[in-house]
Chain A
Amino acid sequence: MNDAFYVASGIAVLSTALAITRANGVHALLYLVISLLAVALVFYTLGAAFAAALEVIVYAGAIIVLMVFLVMMLNLGGAAAARETQWMKPRVWIGPAILGIVLEAEIVSILARGDAGVPSLAVILPRDVGIAMFGPYLLCVELASMLLLAALAGAYRLAYLERAEG
């Protein structure tokens, strides 16, 4: 399990980096999918099978598909890719990169000081997740659902306006 964890997290980091640096939108999204799948595997190796499955179903299977859908609809050609490449100048990315490296160093130092490695495994079943969500975290779930409902109503309103005008 340990090896799988390290391989998966390595893939996740690498593919995320690639996703950031790709100029072509769909390629970037593909790397993002790979990254999400790797993260799902990381979850699984940590014992959170339910979270892993949801990661694949919701993020990789639905949200990124919608993003790909959007990119397809926009039909960005070579010109857009060239423009993206132009934006990838060192002047643009050097600041965030330094901040990222500082954060990375911090995490590495913390991990090095503490007991590094995969934490002890406790397999979490879907049943446990459900009990946790509708037990101690009931309020959070309800708040999130309110937020989603508001977002849904907003989206419906926007789409309705468009249709009424068009």
Chain B
Amino acid sequence: MNLLLFGLLNIIGILLALVIGAALLTWIERRLLGFWQDRRGPNRVGPFGSLQVVADMIKILFKQDWIPPFADRYVFVLAPAVVMVAGLLGFAVIPVTPSIGIAGNWNIGVLFFLAMASLSVYSVVLAGWASNSKYSLLGGMRAAAQMVTYEVFMGLSLIGVVMLSGSFNLTDIVRAQRNIWFIIPQFIGFIVFLMAGIAETHRLPFDLPEGENELGAGFHTEYSGMKFGMFFIGEYIGILLTAAMITVLFFGGWEGPFLPPILWFMLKLSVFVIFFILLRAALPRPRYDQLMSYGWKVLLPLSLLNVVITGAVMLASGPAG
């Protein structure tokens, strides 16, 4: 009973933290982008503008939630739910600390994360199709091609980590990094995973599915009100998820001296979230064919090379544990 209660608390706590964190990220991102562009960003509502989130939330909740008459109603409503569900489910396998985390000790943790990442393609594709408008369709098609492509490298880049730790279990992977973070032996894997993670969450500079200047807003052109809000929050949950995965897989998760594990996790997580925002502030979008050929011609060979080298080194250094 006690265990069940603890589990429930765990789930509710993580869900709340995620959703609130994702909402806060909208403010943090705008603030940071402001600073990086020599502006101040939203600083009016509440202390340092932190209540901007609440103001935005109230606004978006009271906006007209419009379903275009030419849209496919059911799929149109389904699409934003998929992105939220896939993002939140993906977080289930993240071990925040040894005790906090919903299924951090699951024996197919990495695979489950990849599965959820691949399912989140549907939200974008279905949104693009169901809106029945050309910009949305183009955005959805771009997103489908981009995300299916980058999923391949995302999976392959993690193989090195899995080989080194000998497990798909994320808790084991963190434990295996007690001596050395996997960023050092798996640097190529880290780079590929970072790129693929950005492309999977379709964040800048890889946000071609929603390129404003050519597609309106891409797949969510026709969305309004809270459905748009769900896409928005879903994107930030995707950022949090990718940053958390990078932390867990390459930077030793909760491991660290002096501070309690949860603080270490949060610290590493926020560094990567800020890095994601910095990428947005600094880099321009590539062209679409550049994006695709970069993926297939650079990242795929790199990740395969990484697997081969890791395997060779492991073979040379004797039987793995």
Residues of A within 8 A of B (CB): 24, 26-27, 30, 33, 49-50, 52-54, 56-57, 60-62, 65-66, 68-69, 71-73, 75, 123, 125-126
Contacts and interface: CB of A to CB of B under 8 A. Distances in A.
27 contacts: A26-B72, A27-B74, A50-B111, A53-B112, A53-B114, A53-B115, A54-B111, A56-B118, A57-B111, A57-B114, A57-B155, A60-B115, A60-B118, A61-B117, A61-B121, A65-B121, A65-B122, A65-B147, A65-B148, A68-B144, A72-B128, A72-B137, A72-B140, A72-B141, A73-B141, A126-B108, A126-B111
Among A53, A54, A71, find the residue whose CB has the most chain B CB atoms closer than 10 A.
Answer: A53
Given A61-B118, A62-B151, A53 B108 contact: yes
Given A26-B72, A30-B75, A125-B107, A66 B148 contact: yes
A33 B125 CA distance: 13
Interface in B68-112: 72, 74-75, 78, 107-108, 111-112
A125 B114 CA distance: 17
B75 A27 contact: yes
Contacts of B115: 53, 56-57, 60-61
Interface of B: 72, 74-75, 78, 107-108, 111-112, 114-115, 117-119, 121-122, 125-126, 128-130, 137, 140-141, 144-145, 147-148, 151, 155, 168
Nearest to A52: B108
Contacts, number: 81
A69 B118 contact: no
B111 A65 contact: no
Interface of B is mostly: helix
Nearest to B119: A61
A114 to B, nearest CB: 30
A69 B119 contact: no
Given A60-B115, A61-B114, A126-B168, 4 more contacts: A24-B72, A57-B111, A65-B147, A69-B148
Among A30, A57, A71, A123, find the residue whose CB has the most chain B CB atoms closer than 10 A.
Answer: A57
A125 B106 CA distance: 11
Contact of B118 (A26, A62, A75): A62
A22 to B, nearest CB: 12
A65 B108 contact: no
Contacts of A33: 122
B211 to A, nearest CB: 18
Contacts of B72: 24, 26
Nearest to A77: B132
Nearest to B125: A68
B208 to A, nearest CB: 15
B108 A61 contact: no
Contacts of B118: 56-57, 60-62, 65
